[in-house]
Every structure is written in structure tokens, then in C-alpha cells.
Chains A and B, each alone.
Chain A
Amino acid sequence: MATKKSFLLLAVILLIATVLGACGGNKNSNSNSSSTPAAESSAPASNSAESSGETGASGGIDTSEEVKLKMIFVGPKPVDYDSVFGEINKKLKEQINATIEGEFLDWSDWAQKYPLKLAANENFDLIYSANWAGYNDQALKGGFLELTEDMLSKYMPKTWEAMPKVSWDQAKVNGKLYMVPQNRGESVEKLILYREDLRKKYNLPAIDSPEAYANYLKTIAQNEKGVIPFTPETGDWKYHNLDRVLLKQENEWNMFDLDMPFAFKLSDPKGQVFNVFETQEFKDLANYYKDLASNNGWSKNALNSKNDHQQDFKQGKTASITHNNGTLGALMALMRQENSPYEVALADINPDKAKSVAISTQNGTSVHATSKYPERALMFIDLMQNDKELHDLIMYGIEGVHYEKSGEDKYIATDKNPNYTGFSNWSFNSPLNRDNVDFPQEASDLVKKWEEQVYHYPLETFVFDNSKVKTEISNLGNVMLRYAIPLEYGVVKDVDAGLAELNKQLKAAGLEKVQQELQSQIDAFLAAQ
């Protein structure tokens, strides 16, 4: 009897221990985050008071106290972090009596960790920020320090001079600035990379229209066994890459941060917003996708596939992928360097349509709201963007190890180059950037062509404050993921029924309320200009 009881007890204890171990793990991180903000909540107030007092008192900047800055980057920690940052710190120490320490949030879980770093009010001074990393949202929640013109002109004079005014404006949330944006336009328009050798093999016409592209995909599907015509990017959901080409570029629309079911025409001076999914254009596109999906243009289970589309393309498993110019150009350069047996080319399937450059918040650096050394942090950003030596170091690593200089504005990647790359140093992009000499000429040419066609529109600097309609936004996002994405991969049996269901669900989720709020903010924004 005694043994029976003890065995049972043991079993139960084992179970409870695992169950609670699991719960405990979660709760643990909660309790961490709970204690810190309470303890440090008084810091921001006293801190900003101190800094403004200093600004008023003296003109010169006092850097006699040695300061250790900490910056949070996204992306994995580079292998040669120690040597490169060691070099950077030597220079920083001389110039502003400060050193920098990087903390890296790996790609696999940065999206969870990034907001937590801010919510938990951890101790750091600078953080990489970007529109795609929730810049507006985090700024409205109070994660970043507001940067005033006084601070900018005083602590980062070079940047203040070099940065175009429109870049600052684009980074403003409700009229306040929380970020030092990158100082180099970057094209984020998506385009298509495909197999030129296969196009030639089947004597297909040049891929310069959506129809020609569909034709290419269908021909591959019929004739090339073992090659999947198109592979989407894993985790690319609301308005996927092809949508950006075939919906956004093709119709010259823009969608707010690609997060809501609304768009406006670039040419519309009134900025009238409309429901994307009720338009004829979207219906046509859904039918276009459906046609491709039924003709095996992509895997039937593309929604669940976790294949890396760039790897698949490189290995010849797929015949086309979509991404932005920089990424595709780099992939082409790599394939050519490695003497890939495949001939590849870029396709811009709507060459005459208006293209836009990324707004400046595509990459930026923000100062943490509770940083103890905001002045030094700003001086650090100033140097990173505008000091040639430090800029080269942070962007490309150590000369002779990670890269070789080639003239004033180009670099040659050495075989050690991968040891210092892949994390978000992009916020320091500036006119001092060097280009990879191997970057394909046609990709650079496209960028130049697009830059000539760049279209500026009145709503370029508009930022939506969603605080009044958060509930509805959450539900709309959910509906888009659930009902729109299947349409956008052509896996719905009946497009019309799918569209009707999607719109019904969007209405139920509060589409009209958000649309009204959005429109009224846009009207107010345009009226103020």
C-alpha cells in the first residue's frame, strides 16, 4: 500500500512540476517586466528636465564624463562583432568620450522581443527603429524620446545639415519626431527575379507585363518538371510581394503601412480612401491569381510552405521570386560570383507606373525614452552617419578583413565579409555609403530609372493615429489574414463567393468606423498643409 501511494505521489509531482515549470517560465518574464517600469518610471521625467536645463545653460557640449552607450539592433550578432566594435569604440572614445555596446535580437524572435525591450523599460540608450518594426506604435506608446529641433541642431549638426527636411517630416508621428531616419533613399518597390535561360529556351517574349509573366509561369509549369514556377517568401502575408507589384504599383495606389484594407490613389489630391477588396481591380487580380494557381503557377500548399525562396531560386528549384531591388541584386551578384549555371534577370512588369522611394522611416535610430545619455546618443548617431571612417566601420567592417575599398564610393567584398553583415546597421545609411562593385549593373540601372520616375504625393508624410480604433484594427487585420490571403494565393474555390465573404467579415469587424476615422484624419492633414 505504501509503495502504491508513493508511486502515485511521484507521478503527480512529476506532472505538476512540468505543468508549473511551463507556466512559471511565462510568468517569470511577466514579473520581470512588471517590476522594472514601476521602479524606473520616474526616470524619464527627471531625465528630460535635466537635458533641457543643460541645453539652456551652456552652448558647448560637456563630454568629460565617460559614457557607455548600449544600442539594440535586429538581426543576429555578427561573428566578428568584437573586433569591429572594438575598433569603433577606439575612435568613439577619442571623439566623444563614449563607447558603444550592441545587443542583437535574432531574426527568429525579434518581433516578440523588440516590443518587450521597450515595454519592460530595459536599460539601453539607442534602438534600431523602422516603420516595419512598429515605429509609429512604439512612439505613441512612449517608448522613444522625443527629439526636438534644438537637440538635433546642437548634438548632431552634421546630420541636421545633411538630412533633407522631407525625411524628418516623414518620421514625425502626430507632429513629433522620435527617430533619426536613414539619410539615403532606398527603393522598397518589389520586382521579379526570373530565369532568363528558361525564357529563352521556350522562346517566350520579354517579361514586361502581368500577362507575359503569367504566360512565363504557366509555360514553366507545363514543361519544366521539378521546377516550381513561383515560390512566395515565407511569412509574407498581408499584401504579399506580388500584390505590391500587381495591385499597388500597377494601379498606382498606396496602402497605409500595408496593414489595413484601405488604399488611396497616388494621383488623388483629396486622398479619398476606399476598401481595396471591393474594387474591380482586386477582383481581377484575384481571378489572375486563381488562374495561375489552377495552372500550377505555384505550390498548391504555398500557404504552409516554409521553403526559403532565395535558396530555392539559387538551387534552381523555383523559376521566379519577388523581393526588393537590393535583395534581388545581391542574390544575382552572389549567383554570378559562384558561377551559377542559371542565367537570371530582373523583370519590372509595369515599367511605366509611378514608383515611390521608401519613406525615410524604413530604417532609423531612436533614442530610448529613459536613456540617461540622450546627448551622447545623438552625437553617436551623428558620427555613424557622417564620419567617413566610422561609417565605413559600422557598415562594412574592417578594411582589408571584411572589405576592400574600391574608389571613394564602392567596395569589394572579401570572403570574410559574411562575418560582419546581416544585422540592422542600415539605420546609418547615408550619402557616404559604398556600393558593392559586384552589384549587377541592370539592378543599379533600374534603381536609377525608378529614381527619375519617383512620384511624390501629398500624403507621403501622413501617419495614422489608430488609438481610437484599435479594437477594429485588430479585428480587420485578423479578417485580412484569414479571408484575404487565401484569395491572394488563388486557393479559394470560388473567387466571387470568397470576396463576398471577405467583405462581409470586414464590415462586421468595423471597416466603416476605421474608414471614417482614417478619412477624417487625412482631411485634417491635407487641410493643414
Chain B
Amino acid sequence: MRLHKFLYDVKRYRTILLMLAPAVAFFLLFAYVPMAGIVIAFKHYDYAGGIFGSAWNGLANFRFFFESGDAWTVTRNTALYNIAFIAVNNFLQIFAAILLFEIGGKWFRKLTQSILFLPYFISWVVVGAIAYNLLNYDIGTVNALLRGLGLEPVDIYNTPSYWPFILVAVSAWKTLGYGTVMYLAAIAGIDTEMYEAAEIDGANIFQRIMKITLPNLYPTLIILVLLAVGNIFRGDFGMFYNMVGNNGILFSSTDVIDTFVFRSLITSNDIGMSAAAGVFQSVLGFATIMSVNYAVRKYDKDRALF
């Protein structure tokens, strides 16, 4: 009976299932099968043995990270930076999306949207070079301006305390356009009848935004934040490495797990040890997303991811 129903369902939804198939295949091939590779985090990797033939060495690969004394600092940095990125970026993206939506003029809106989107395509290497030319002490634009105004130049690249702000600003600049499109799509999906009704009832533009647009964006926001939270323990290596490089002076406020692991292992190239760091990040990420999702479900069952 069960089987019969299953076969019936398969037949009935065959078009939809067929559309789903590539995605399922993709995940199986690129997300689930490679998970078996996690074993190298617990192995002493050698070329002859490969991933499955190498000898086990227990938790030895994890030692370098936890015995370095920096494990707590870099883990905290990674999480705090990502929380700041999520909060600031989403806020600005929603803000920009609402502004773009409210501004009439299709032509103007499209142009602004495209310009906002541009930084998303610039590689971090280029962004790092631009930042250096803006911020460096000797010939940087910022300091040239300060000197021109008769002010003392600031040595940004030797002062760690500026960097959290710089990095958050750069991240916001780079992701603004991408996120804005996401929220614009969500706003465009809001039933226009609601706005018409509100207008007839005499609601002004701020009331419309506060009472209609924002509440309707809420589900999108939750989903985007939940997805981002899963990666909260992964630092964006491209960003941190290209912005900060090997400038040890700044590490106290800019070092994240990924840059730390890169520096430690760049000379030894130990696959097992870098895999161990990856496993550590994944386990933390998994724990975070499970607990945040649980909290969301407690609060509002329909909004949770799963």
C-alpha cells in the first residue's frame, strides 16, 4: 500500500522531481560525498596512503590550534566580525532596498542598483590594493587630504584599533548591492493592494514603510540571517588576508581563524592539520545554526529554516 502510494506520487510529481534532480545530485556529489574526507583531520597524511590509507593519529592534528594560545582570541574575533557584518550589512541592505523601491523613475533605480552592485564583482586582491592606496601613511589619499587640511596624518596601518571599523565598512560596501537586490525582490513581491489600501486610509510614506514593508521583509531577513549564522565561524579569508596581509601589528584586532591557520601551516603544508581546523569550524557552525534555528522555532514556528 505504502509502496503503491510512493510510486503513485513519483509518477504524479515526476516533472517537479526531475527539476529537483540536478540539485540533489549536486549536493550528493559536492557536499555529502566529500564529507568522508573529514577523516584526514584524524590522520597522519602521507602520499602513499592517501586519504583512507594513511595512519590514524587521533586528535594530534587539533593540537596546534588549541595549544597556540590564540585559539580563543581568533575564534572570538571571527564570530564578532561575522556578527557585525551580518547586522550592519543587512541593515544597510534593507535601508537601500526600501529607498530604491520608494524612489520612482525606473531608469534611475536601475542605474543606482547597478552601481551599487559593482563592488561585488571586484576581487579582494584589487580591493586590498585600493585600500592601501587610500589608507597608507606616505602617499595615501586619506592622509594627503589630512595634510592638505593642515592636520596630522594618521598611521592607519600601524594602529589596530581602526581596523574593525575599516573592515566592517569595506564589507558593507562590497556586499551592499548584492543584498539590496535580494531585499528588492522581496519588496517587489509584497501585494500592492496593501499599499493602495493604506494610502486610501491616509497612511504616509513612513507609516507605509514601518507597517507594511518592514513586516513583510521579516521572513526574508530571518532566512538570510539564519543562513549567514551557519558560517559565523568562518572568516572571509580573501577579505582579511588582502586587507591586512602579514602585518603582525594589526593581528590583535584582525586575526580570524582562517588567516591564523593559513599563517601557521603555509610552510608545513600539512593537510591533516588544516583539515582539523576546518572540522573545528564546521562543528561550531553546526552547533550555532542548530541552536539559533531552535530559538527561532520556539519564538515563531513558521519562520524557522527547518
Give residues in A with beta carbon < 8 Å to B.
1, 3-8, 10-12, 14-16, 19-20, 23-24, 27-28, 30-31, 33-34, 36-38, 41, 44, 111, 115, 118-119, 121, 134, 137, 141-143, 228, 237, 259, 299-301, 303-306, 369, 466, 470-475, 477-478, 481-486, 491-492, 505, 508-510
Contacts and interface: CB of A to CB of B under 8 A. Distances in A.
Given A300-B138, A474-B273, A143 B158 contact: no
A482 B251 CA distance: 7
A355 B298 CA distance: 72
Which 10 interchain pairs have the tightest Cβ spacing?
Answer: A37-B50, A7-B189, A4-B189, A24-B30, A482-B248, A300-B137, A471-B64, A301-B157, A142-B47, A303-B247
Contact of A369 (B47, B67, B188): B47
Interface stretch (B2-10, B108-116, B196-204, B219-227): B219-227
B64 A28 contact: no
Given A11-B182, A24-B30, A41-B50, A474 B264 contact: yes
A49 to B, nearest CB: 14
Contact of A475 (B67, B188, B248): B67
Given A19-B227, A478-B68, A31 B33 contact: yes
Contacts of B223: 12
A470 B270 contact: yes
B227 A481 contact: no
A469 to B, nearest CB: 11
A473 B157 contact: no
A491 B138 contact: no
B136 A481 contact: no
B164 interface: no
B212 to A, nearest CB: 12
A491 B48 CA distance: 45
Main secondary structure of the interface of B (DSSP, over half): helix
Interface of B: 26-27, 29-31, 33-34, 36-37, 45-53, 60, 63-64, 67-70, 128-129, 132, 136-138, 155, 157-158, 182, 185-186, 188-191, 216, 219-220, 223-224, 227, 244-249, 251, 255, 260, 263-271, 273
A78 B34 CA distance: 36
A34 B155 CA distance: 47
Given A471-B60, A481-B263, A41 B53 contact: yes
Given A7-B186, A134-B269, A478-B260, A509 B249 contact: no
A11 B31 contact: no
Nearest to B140: A301
B46 A304 contact: no
A27 B36 CA distance: 11
Give the most central of A6, A30, A38: most B CB within 10 Å.
A30
B225 to A, nearest CB: 12
A492 B129 CA distance: 24
B199 to A, nearest CB: 19
Contact of A27 (B34, B68, B188): B34
Nearest to A228: B138
A141 B273 CA distance: 14
B182 A483 contact: no
Contacts of A137: 268-269
A305 B220 contact: no
A301 B153 CA distance: 13
A37 B47 contact: yes
B37 to A, nearest CB: 5
Given A20-B30, A37-B49, A471-B63, 20 more contacts: A7-B188, A11-B185, A11-B186, A15-B182, A23-B30, A34-B37, A36-B50, A41-B50, A111-B266, A137-B269, A142-B46, A300-B157, A474-B64, A474-B268, A477-B267, A478-B260, A482-B263, A485-B248, A505-B69, A508-B69
Give the most central of A20, A118, A304, A508: most B CB within 10 Å.
A304
